[in-house]
Amino acid sequence: MQRILIVDDVEVNRELLRNMLKDDYIIEMAENGEQAIHILQEYHEDLAAILLDLQMPKMDGFAVIHEMKNRGWMPKLPVLVISGEYAVEVENRCFELGVSDFIHKPFEDSIVRNRIRNTMELFSRRNQLEQKVKEQEAIIRIQEERLKEERSFNRLMMEYRSAIKEVETKLQVLNEEFTVEYNRNPFESIKSRLKSPDSIFEKLKRKGYPLTLDAIRENLCDVAGVRVICSFPDDIYRLAGLLTKQDDIILLQAKDYIKNPKANGYRSLHYILDVPVFLSNEKKYMHVEVQFRTIAMDFWASLEHKLRYKKNWERSDADEIVAQLKVCADSIEELDYRMQTIRDKINRCSGDNG
C-alpha cells in the first residue's frame, strides 16, 4: 500500500480523512508544520502524497511548502492543499508554489478519494514523462558528443591520409626524375596504410594513454604508414637520404634494422617523419612512419608476419621455426647484396653511373 501524510492542526479533520483513506493507504499524520517536516525527513522517499492544511500554528502550510521546495522534495511529491479557503488569490499562490490540487472542506468521501487518486496518477505520469524527456536529452547529448568526436576523429584521419599522399607524391616525383635522368626507378612499389580505429585505441590502452585525439597525435607515430619497396639495399639509403633532405620534411627518428637486424632476422629502414599537410586555413605537420625494404626483405617480413600470428603453433616447434626464419633472413640479405654486386658490374660494363 502507498503511504500518504495528512497535516492538519484540527484532530477531527485528521481522523475524518484517516477513516476515509485507511483502507487504501498507509496513513501518517502531523498536527502542525514542524511535525510534518520531521515525518517528511524520514518518509519523503516513500510517501505517495501529502494532504496539507494551510492555517496551522508554529509552522503553517506555506512555510512547509517553502521548506519542501528548499529541500528538493516538491518535484518528487504531490501536495494537495486541504482548506476551507476559496479565495482565488490563495489558490493561485499555492499553484505557483507547485501545489498539485485542492481538497476543500467540508470533505466529501468520493471527492477526496478521486482527487487523491487522480493527482497521484497525473503526478506519476508527469514524472515518468519528465524522466523520459531527460533520458532522451541525455541520449541526444551523448549522440551529439559522439558525432563531434566522430567528426574530429574523421578529420584527424583525413589529415593522416593527406600526409601519406604528401609522402607518396614526393617519392613519385623522385621516381619520375630517376626515370628521366638514369633510365631506372629507385623503388619498385609503394604501399600505404592507415591504422584502423580499433587498432589505434587498442594501442593507446596498451601504452596507458588516454583515449583522446591529442593522445593519438602526441604519442602514436605509426597511425600513417608508407612502405617503400626497393630493388637493392643501396637504393634504400639513397632514396631515404633524398627524401629527408627536402626542406619541409623533418626526420624525427631513424631505426636502421638493415645494418642492425632484429634478433629474428627482420631487416628494414624505419623513419618517423613530420610531413606538412596544407589545409584550407593552416599548414599542419603530421607524423608518418616510412619503412624502406628490398623486395626480398618485404617478402620475408610478410611471410614471417603471417606465420608468427598463427595460433596453432606447438611450443616444441616454436624455437625451430624461429631459427629457420632467421636462417632465411640471413640468406635473403646475402642474396640482396649479391644481386646488388651483379648490378654494379653490369653498370660498370655499360658505363651507366645511375
Phi, psi of 59 (to 5 degrees): -150, 110
How many other C-beta atoms can be found within 10 angstroms of the C-beta atom of residue 48? 18
Look at residue 313 in the predicted model and tell me its pLDDT. 57
Of the pLDDT bands very low, low, confident and very high (cuts 50, 70, 90), residue 349 is confident
Beta carbons of 164 and 190 less than 8 angstroms apart = no
pLDDT in tens, 168-204: 999 999 999 988 887 778 889 999 999 998 898 889 8
Phi, psi of 87 (to 5 degrees): -65, 135
Mean pLDDT of 74-86: 86
283-294 β-sheet, strand order = 189-194, 224-230, 283-294, 269-278, 250-256
pLDDT, tens digit, 9 for 90 and up, residues 15-41: 999 999 999 999 999 999 999 999 999
Whole-number CA gyration radius for the chain: 40
User: pLDDT tens digits, residue range 237-287?
Assistant: 999 999 999 999 999 999 999 999 998 899 999 999 999 999 999 999 999
Q: Examine the pLDDT at 89 and tell me if it is beyond 90.
A: no
pLDDT (tens digit per residue) in 312-342: 656 666 777 788 888 999 999 999 899 989 9
**Residue 37 to residue 59: CA distance in whole angstroms:** 10
Average pLDDT, the chain: 88
pLDDT of residue 350: 74
Half-sphere exposure of 231 (CA within 13 A, CB side): 12
The whole-number pLDDT of residue 148 equals 62
Q: What is the pLDDT of residue 312?
A: 62
Q: What is the pLDDT of residue 315?
A: 60
Q: What is the mean pLDDT of residues 55-66?
A: 90
Q: Judging by beta carbons within 10 Å of its beta carbon (0-12, 13-18, 19+), is residue 167 exposed, middle or buried?
A: buried
Of the given ranges (38-42, 86-90, 208-212), which has the lowest mean pLDDT? Answer: 86-90
Residue indicated by cell numbers 596498451:
206
> How does pLDDT run across 96-107, given as a tens digit for each residue?
989 999 998 888
* 232: nearest Cα among 353, 328, 338, 336: 336
297-311: average pLDDT:
79
Instruction: With a cut of 60, say whether residue 147 has pLDDT above it.
Output: no
